[in-house]
Amino acid sequence: MNRLIRCVLGLAMIAMTLSAHANTPSDQLIIALKMSNILSLDPAAATGNDIAFVNANLYDTLIELDPEDPTHIQPAIASEWEIADDGMAITFTLRDDIRFHSGNALTAQDVVWSFERVLDLNLALATTWKALGFTQDNVSELLSVAGDYQVEIAFPRQLDPKLVLYTLATSPSAFILDRDLVLEHERDGDLGNQWLTTNAAGSGAFELDLWIPQDRIIMKSNDRYWGQVPQIQRVVMRNLKESQTMRLMIERGDIDVAIGMSVPDIRSLEDSDGVEIQTTQRGTLYYVATSMKNEILANEQVRRAIRGTINYEGINNSIMPYYGIFHQRPVKLGLPATLPEPDYALTTEQARELLAEAGYEDGFNTTIRALNESPFINVAINLQSSLERIGINAEILSGTGNQVYGAMRDRSFDIIVGRGGGGFAPHPDSNLRPLLLNPDNSDAARLTNFQGWRTGYQNRRINELITQAVSEADDEVQTALYEEVQSIYEEDIGALFPFSQMINTVAVREEVEGYLDDPAAMTRLRSVTKRLE
């Protein structure tokens, strides 16, 4: 026994002597994030903020938005662009000095091919372009090579050119691919989809060095980058699911940037010396959605009651800090068209009366679906407890994104605490289209990409207004149209109640300079530097 104890003590001594420590090397940037949503790096298939972040560093877009003023468009691959007089086309002039990582020159051919590819493959991100009226059939007519370094994009219908430009700058499908390289790896006519799932063919400031799915992504700097060549030689992204671990590691300087930490950990880092917390508004909204397919919830009074049973203030004060900020309109904050807050509040008494008026004085049973992670599950638990006070007995069904949003797509849910509504582009359409538009409410239509269809909420006037506003070039008229949509939605007590607008919170070591989180999730690391201690 004694020998055993001595043995254990010995091991402990060895462990102690091993505890010398150093910060991360100054030419490396080490980022920890959850990689469970990074499934494919193919820009045509890649959904989610995390992939947009990775790809924004491997690829380039025609134009970019200034992260500090998201309505300001900056040149990137395209050095200049011109909107046609009739507002039906845009012509882009490309830089002629860009080379892909493979060494191939980037030309107009690559640009046109990259966009056609997204529609031809018809994967997840084709939706963005289809919403603007581009289709597999018309895309090759609308996009044309006007010269080696000139591309013309004609509109399929009257469109607000701003919206097209914003989409080109913010959609994760708008990256320009190395056509020749991708085609070398084409298999069974998949336009290189399978190869691009785990490889990259871009011209970005960083080159993909190693990707082990669900484990790590290593990028090295691209010395031939057309812009400022990054000072960071190597970016290491590591899959880390535990917020606590992220916090411990960033405090100790084992990692430089931590993305996706939970609130208690962020809060504790606020007071910590070596770490800075960055928060950026994103356009996506947190909402409580009800299904109009559910007989009880289809009742306007019941929905009014539920709208008054959400503890907006409590949720935003105690659950949402660092996840979102108070907002109740279906259009994100800060746009000219955004109406002032309607100031819905928790009014339990009134809600109980409304429920009685609707004929449910004894309440009813229902379910709340929510992702099994913060803040969704926390909001769901809070909502459950509020609903209980007006007699509604709600069971929580928590699950993965797949289980929660799968049920929503099948229109087989009652209440969902969710997040959605695009909002990448600084334009009301990018919120209203995914959230409220519902051109065909039949089950057979399966317009599963519209939350309007998923909730079964349809208002023809709103449909008209959204469609009309997109083709309106006059800012003031357009703003008025969008304002009308919001007031109709308020009177109508739509099926989906936004309660918060997403903010993204990132913890960054103070040695790291120039890390600027992008509102459209396209955070570019090319200007990041690390101060030597």
Partner 1 sequence: MTRSRYLSVVRKVGVILITLLGLLTMTFVIGRLMPIDPVLAVVGPDADSSTYEQVFREMGLDRPIWVQYQYYLQDMLSGDFGRAILTGYPVVSDILRVLPATIELASVAILFGVGLGVPLGVYAATHRGRLGDHLTRLITLFGYSTPVFWVGMVGLIIFYAWLNWAGAAGRIGFAFDGMFTQYTGFYLIDTLLSGNWEAFVSAVRHIALPALILGLNSVSFIGRMTRSFMLEQLSQEYIKTARVKGLSERSVIWKHAFKNILVQLLTIVALAYGGLLEGAVLIETVFAWPGFGQYLTDSLLMGDMNAVMASVLFIGLVFVFLNLLSDALYKLFDPRTR
Partner 2 sequence: MKNIQTLKNAPFPARERHAPGQSKGALFFKALKKLCKNPLSASGVVIVGLLLVLTIAAPMIATHDPLTQDLSRVLSAPSWAHWFGTDEYGRDIFSRVVYGSRVTLYIIFLVTIIVGPIGLMIGTMSGYFGGWVDSTFMRITDIFISFPSLVLALAFVAALGPGLEHAVIAIALTAWPPVARLARAETLTFRNADYVVAAQLQGASSFRILFHYISVMCLPSLIVRLTMNMATVILTAAALGFLGLGAQPPLPEWGAMISTGRSYMLESWWLVAFPGAAIMLVSLAFNLLGDGLRDLLDPRTD
Q: Are 277 and 505 in contact (CB under 8 A)?
A: yes
Closest to partner 1 by CB, 188 or 491: 188
Side-chain half-sphere CA neighbours of 48 within 13 A: 15
CA proximity to 259, closest of 35, 68, 526: 35
Q: Which of 127, 262, 290, 523 touches partner 2 (CB under 8 A)?
A: 262
**Do the strands 324-326 and 69-75 form a parallel or antiparallel pair, or are they unpaired?**
unpaired
Q: Does 270 bind partner 2 (CB under 8 A)?
A: no
Indicate the SS3 state at residue 414. coil
Closest to partner 1 by CB, 70 or 420: 420
Q: Does 215 bind partner 1 (CB under 8 A)?
A: yes
Q: Contacts with partner 1: how many residues (CB under 8 A)? A: 68
Considering only the stretches 16-24, 277-285, 350-358, 380-388, report the one whose residues sit in contact with partner 2 under the rule CB under 8 A: 380-388
- Name the strands in the sheet holding 143-147, side by side, starting at the edge strand that comes first in the sequence: 78-83, 89-94, 150-154, 143-147
Q: Does 403 bind partner 2 (CB under 8 A)?
A: yes
Q: Does 10 bind partner 2 (CB under 8 A)?
A: no
Q: Does 216 bind partner 1 (CB under 8 A)?
A: yes
Q: Does 193 bind partner 2 (CB under 8 A)?
A: no
Q: Contacts with partner 2: how many residues (CB under 8 A)? A: 26
DSSP assignment, residue 445?
Answer: G
Binding map of partner 1 across residues 239-258, x = CB under 8 A, - = no contact: xxxx-xx--xx--x-xx---
Q: How far apart are CA 67 and CA 113, in angstroms?
A: 28
Q: What is the DSSP string of 114-167?
A: HHHHHHHHT-TTHHHHHHHT--TTTHHHHEEEEETTEEEEE-SS---HHHHHHH
**Token digits for 389?**
């006070």
Closest to partner 1 by CB, 122 or 365: 122
Minimal distance, residue 403 CB to partner 1, in Å: 6
Neighbours of 520 (CB within 10 A): 25
Q: Which does 412 bind (CB under 5 to 8 A by kind): partner 1, partner 2, none?
A: none
Q: Which of 30, 263, 351, 506 touches partner 1 (CB under 8 A)?
A: 30
Q: Does 118 bind partner 1 (CB under 8 A)?
A: no
Q: Which does 185 bind (CB under 5 to 8 A by kind): partner 1, partner 2, none?
A: none
Q: Does 274 bind partner 1 (CB under 8 A)?
A: no
Q: Does 526 bind partner 2 (CB under 8 A)?
A: no
Q: How far apart are CA 311 and CA 241, in angstroms?
A: 29
Q: Which does 264 bind (CB under 5 to 8 A by kind): partner 1, partner 2, none?
A: partner 2
Minimal distance, residue 210 CB to partner 1, in Å: 6
Closest to partner 2 by CB, 144 or 272: 272
Binding map of partner 1 across residues 170-209, x = CB under 8 A, - = no contact: ------------------------x--xx----------x
147: left (phi over 0), alpha (psi -120 to 50) or beta: left
Q: Does 48 bind partner 1 (CB under 8 A)?
A: yes
431-462 in b/e form (b: 16+ CB < 10 A) is bbbbbbbbeebeeeeebebbbbbbbbbbbeeb
Q: Are 229 and 527 in contact (CB under 8 A)?
A: no
Minimal distance, residue 271 CB to partner 2, in Å: 12
Q: Which does 12 bind (CB under 5 to 8 A by kind): partner 1, partner 2, none?
A: partner 1
Q: Which does 74 bind (CB under 5 to 8 A by kind): partner 2, partner 1, none?
A: none
Minimal distance, residue 409 CB to partner 2, in Å: 17
Q: Does 381 bind partner 2 (CB under 8 A)?
A: yes
| Matching residue, tokens 């997109």 | 470
Q: Does 318 bind partner 2 (CB under 8 A)?
A: yes
- What are residue 505's DSSP bridge partners? 279
Q: How far apart are CA 237 and CA 220, in angstroms?
A: 11
Q: Which does 15 bind (CB under 5 to 8 A by kind): partner 1, partner 2, none?
A: partner 1
Q: At what angle do helices 475-492 and 429-436 cross, to 10 degrees?
A: 30
SS (H, E, C) 457-508: CCCHHHHHHHHHHHCCCCHHHHHHHHHHHHHHHHHHCCCEEEEEEEEEEEEE
Q: How far apart are CA 240 and CA 302, in angstroms?
A: 42
Q: How far apart are CA 478 and CA 428, in angstroms?
A: 10
Closest to partner 1 by CB, 71 or 194: 194
Q: What does the CA dihedral 317, 319, 323, 327 come to, rounded to 10 degrees?
A: -50
**Token digits for 84?**
């046609």
Binding site for partner 1 (CB under 8 A): 1, 3-4, 7, 11-12, 15-16, 18-19, 21, 24-25, 28, 30, 32, 36, 39-40, 45, 47-48, 122-124, 126-127, 130, 194, 197-198, 209-210, 212-216, 218, 236, 238-242, 244-245, 248-249, 252, 254-255, 400-403, 405-406, 408-409, 420, 422, 434, 445-449
Binding site for partner 2 (CB under 8 A): 242-244, 247-248, 262-265, 268, 314, 318, 372, 374, 377-378, 380-382, 384-385, 396-399, 403
